Amino acid sequence: MRPDLPPGIVVLPGTDVEGAWERFEMFEALHHGMRICNPMHGSDLDEVLGHLDPAAGDRMIDIACGHGELLIRAAERAPIEGVGVDLSPWVLARAAGEAASRVPDARLSWWLGDGKALPKEPWDVVTCLGASWIWNGSAGTARALAARSRPGAAVAIGDLILKQGADPAAIRQEYGAVLTQADYARLLAESGFDHLDCMVLPTEAFEAYDRRVAESAAEWAIRHPGPDADRYLEEQRTWAEDHRRDRQFLSWVVWVGRRAGTA
Ligand SMILES: C[S@@+](CC[C@H](N)C(=O)[O-])C[C@H]1O[C@@H](n2cnc3c(N)ncnc32)[C@H](O)[C@@H]1O
């Protein structure tokens, strides 16, 4: 059932490849039907790329790149030198295949490993859409991306914030402190980013994502019937319930900024 790891994929030091295949099979079962593994649509990614504006020769890194859609679209816009990092071999096998067919001449590489372990290099474009847990939340993510971007670099972060009008006190016990849009804007400014854009996705986009997750899990169970698929279906139902509750309090946002200073 597992694809082979395509030969060009770079395995970062210390990565337990076999363990990663096992650990991330469930994520793949719930997302294999999608190019974008979050509530965004292709047009949203294009809008984000419009702000990031990657140029010829830019070194761009997408941390937790999933199926590689952002980098592939970036490479369709400009001859960048791109790296997609993810801890799931499933998503990287798919990203490498998609890139080979859609942008065969692009200079894209796929690195398998923990985003947290990446060295602090000064990239021109740095993105992380939907994986802020890697650095234990929004503040850690902002710091991690600041440490991996050159002055003047373009940066995008996809994350959850407190929904407009939701009462922070009502959710503090269960969710801990959730940043409002204003808190997050302040955090980014303190981390050294000039604000370019904040895209708040509508609740319906979050709902549609959950429908896509349900379709993926159901299709996986048809293709690979057995106890694992049943477990993944159960997990998907739990996710759906959790997300139904989350949607009352949380919104999915993408921040785009520029690291202060000039290169
Ligand atoms: C919600 S998905 C977002 C994927 C992609 N950014 C997108 O928007 O389509 C989260 C991704 O984080 C990856 N991931 C989880 N833990 C990671 C880690 N420690 N380092 C790198 N990637 C990780 C998962 O494999 C998954 O592809």
Whose C-alpha lies nearest to ligand 1, atom 4? 66
- Alpha-carbon distance of 216 to 147, in angstroms, equals 36
pLDDT tops 80 at residue 70 = yes
102 secondary structure, DSSP code:
H
| Mean predicted confidence (pLDDT) in 195-222 | 97
Tens-place pLDDT, residues 72-84 = 999 999 999 999 9
Q: Is the CB of 128 under 6 A from ligand 1?
A: no
For the chain, the straight-line distance linking the first and the last C-alpha, in angstroms and rounded, comes to 47
Q: What is the pLDDT of residue 171?
A: 80
Tens-place pLDDT, residues 166-185 = 888 878 777 777 899 999 99
CA of 156 to the centre of ligand 1 (A): 14
Q: Is the CB of 130 under 6 A from ligand 1?
A: yes
53 secondary structure, DSSP code:
-
CA of 204 to the centre of ligand 1 (A): 22
Q: Is the CB of 134 under 6 A from ligand 1?
A: yes
| Mean predicted confidence (pLDDT) in 198-203 | 97
Q: What is the pLDDT of residue 58?
A: 98
| Mean predicted confidence (pLDDT) in 100-115 | 98
Q: Is the CB of 65 under 6 A from ligand 1?
A: yes
pTM: 0.97
Q: Is the CB of 58 under 6 A from ligand 1?
A: no
Task: Fold for 10-161+179-255, please state it.
Answer: Rossmann fold (3.40.50)
Which residue spans within 58-148 are E strands per DSSP? 59-63, 81-86, 107-112, 123-129
Q: Is the CB of 112 under 6 A from ligand 1?
A: no
| Mean predicted confidence (pLDDT) in 184-194 | 97
Tens-place pLDDT, residues 220-238 = 999 999 999 999 999 999 9
Q: Is the CB of 129 under 6 A from ligand 1?
A: yes
Q: What is the pLDDT of residue 177?
A: 78
Q: pLDDT grade, residue 1 (50/70/90)?
A: low
| Mean predicted confidence (pLDDT) in 123-143 | 97
**Beta carbons of 121 and 145 less than 8 angstroms apart:** no
Ligand 1 atom nearest to 62, measured from its CA: 6
Q: What is the pLDDT of residue 178?
A: 87
Tens-place pLDDT, residues 18-27 = 999 999 999 9
Owner of token pair 């914030």: 161
> Which of 34, 12, 61, 62 is CA-nearest to residue 211?
34
pLDDT tops 80 at residue 91 = yes
Which residue spans within 140-214 are E strands per DSSP? 149-162, 193-200
Q: For 235-257, give one letter per residue: b (16+ CB within 10 A) or e.
A: bbeebeeebeebbebbbbbbbbb
CA of 79 to the centre of ligand 1 (A): 24
Q: Which residues pair with 154 in a beta bridge?
A: 125, 258
Name the residue of 86, 128, 148, 216 whose CB sits within 8 Å of the most ligand 1 atoms, as the mutation to test its pocket. 86
| Mean predicted confidence (pLDDT) in 212-216 | 98
**Beta carbons of 130 and 159 less than 8 angstroms apart:** yes
Residue type for position 60: M
Tens-place pLDDT, residues 36-58 = 999 999 999 999 999 999 999 99
- Alpha-carbon distance of 8 to 221, in angstroms, equals 30
Q: Is the CB of 47 under 6 A from ligand 1?
A: no
pLDDT tops 90 at residue 213 = yes
**Beta carbons of 114 and 24 less than 8 angstroms apart:** no
Task: Compute how many other C-beta atoms are within 10 angstroms of the C-beta atom of residue 156.
Answer: 24
